[in-house]
Amino acid sequence: MNNVDVVIVEPKTGFLDYASKRLPLGVMSVAGMIRSKGFKVKIIDQRIDPHGWKKELEYCVNQNPLFVGISSMTGTQINHALKAASVVRNIDDKIPIVWGGVHPSLMALQTIEHPLVDVIVMGEGERSASQLADAYKNNIPLENIPSICYKKNDGTVKVTDSAPQIKLDEIPEIPYDLMDMDEYASIDFSGNHERSISFESSRGCPWRCGFCYIPAFYNSTWRTFSPESVVERLSILKDKYKIKSVYFVDDEMAIDTKRFEKIVDAILKENLDITWGTQGIRIDTMERIMTRHPNLLDKMYKSGNKQIEIGLESGSQRVLKLIDKDIDLETMKRITDKLTDFSVGKDITLHYNMMGGFPTETREEIEESIKWGEYLVNEKQAYVNYNIFAPFPGTPLYPLSVKSGFVEPKDLESWGDFNLFDWFRHHPSWMDSKTIDFLTSMAFSLLFANTSMEIKITNKVTRTLFKMYGPVARFRLKHRLFNFFIEKRITDLLNMNSDF
């Protein structure tokens, strides 16, 4: 077997890995671009082989690759990324360790200080990573590679100029053949664990929501694959890999409602016979769909749409203004009512995301959001997820969070303790212990009170446990019985366990 030229590691993410394991599309896209330049690429996903990934990485490193790439978000994934980097360094300290992903991109100067980080690819990595492979192969200096941060031989740090954003239709096909497709699933509409896949039809978002890092990562732009490209790729996936369900992981899929309708029309025309859901469509975008394309909801359903996910965030108008959501409660009520009317008698899940714990948010405003969530669950039979705000790097609310009492992590390891579900237990902030206990218990109960949530759980054991715990969660939520919340502590321990 020929030696591997580039190894890319997808680290474990923690508790979320128990629910489902989605394809690492970002890492795969980078691998596809590198491979298109003639290099042999190996992807190692810690989530798939949590006990054997180390031996696999050791084997690849002993083949003397040009570099080892590691992708990471903010939080628990950093800890697992550092373990992978340590394996590389212990075997051969001359092999460059290249980091990419959201956290290294937005915190490059702090991240590059770590001894297990040699180079950072900032932003979308396809172009820069493939140029790095060429540079290491041919001993070309790194200074002309765009969008990287690296340590020079004298120990100083250099940040190169940013690269123009790549046109999405110019990106090579995602190399699905590098992955064991049987190991991944994104969504389960049927309950029969049919093969499903995550799919990206666009990148970025032009909106300015205060809790989101996406505008910082993509420079507030939204770029798309053409409708023709989207449906062609879906058709290939269905035929080659027998895909039954597709989960569009776009941050906002339908900003251009005409383009969105073309995709739906093409799915119908090609008779793809798939079921599909969306990760992101704004409530005001849904309003435009209803008013400008009166038949589109019907066509969506006929084409196999089984789930629509919308971010509402808060039941308080002041908080909606604080986070620059640019929507109002009247619109939320009107459109959610219309969506409920449409969904009656149809096999479709309406999924709404709520959020709380913002700096300056009062207990009364938190309760307004909870009541909204309960209303949607109990009266509209919707799936509601309540997230606790986390001041991630790059979010517009980050400066206010620091001003309000959030103590910023000072190094890469400290950011590894910044977990979405319990960061406030490790880092001082504006929230006192009573608020933290209330928010975490309430969010946990509301999450498991949703019977519709099971479509997001593709792990059979986890789905069974979810069904068993549901009645307890609904009882706790109804009566606000959040004392002695031992089940939340158990999931916290699972999230920290690196050996599952």
Question: Torsion-angle region of residue 360: left (phi > 0), alpha (psi -120 to 50) or beta?
Answer: left
Which residues make Cβ contacts (< 8 Å) with residue 58, sequence separation at least 6? 87, 91
- The predicted model gives 17-43 an average pLDDT of 93
Instruction: Please indicate whether residue 326 or residue 480 has the higher confidence score (pLDDT).
Output: 326
Q: Which of these ranges, 33-37, 158-162, 449-453, has the smallest mean pLDDT? A: 449-453
Distance CA 415, CA 111 (A): 10
pLDDT at 195: 87
Percentage of residues in the chain having pLDDT higher than 70: 89
pLDDT at 499 over 50: no
pLDDT at 498: 44
Confidence of residue 188 (pLDDT cuts 50, 70, 90): confident
| Average pLDDT, rounded, for the chain | 90
pLDDT at 338 over 50: yes
pLDDT at 229 over 70: yes
- The predicted model gives 35-53 an average pLDDT of 96
The tokens describing 496, both together, are 């920290």
Confidence of residue 186 (pLDDT cuts 50, 70, 90): confident
pLDDT at 491: 56
- The predicted model gives 58-79 an average pLDDT of 97
271 burial via Cβ count (<10 Å: 0-12, 13-18, 19+): exposed
452 burial via Cβ count (<10 Å: 0-12, 13-18, 19+): middle
pLDDT at 350 over 50: yes
pLDDT at 37: 97
- Could you report the per-residue pLDDT of 262-314, keeping only the tens digit for each? 999 999 999 999 999 999 899 999 999 999 999 999 999 999 999 999 999 99
User: What is the length of the chain?
Assistant: 500
- Could you report the per-residue pLDDT of 433-475, keeping only the tens digit for each? 989 988 887 777 777 766 655 555 566 666 676 666 667 776 7
pLDDT at 496: 44
- The predicted model gives 353-374 an average pLDDT of 93
Q: Which of these ranges, 102-116, 192-206, 291-305, 321-335, has the smallest mean pLDDT? A: 192-206
Angstrom distances, CA of residue 230 to CA of 260, 262, 269, 272: 11, 10, 13, 12
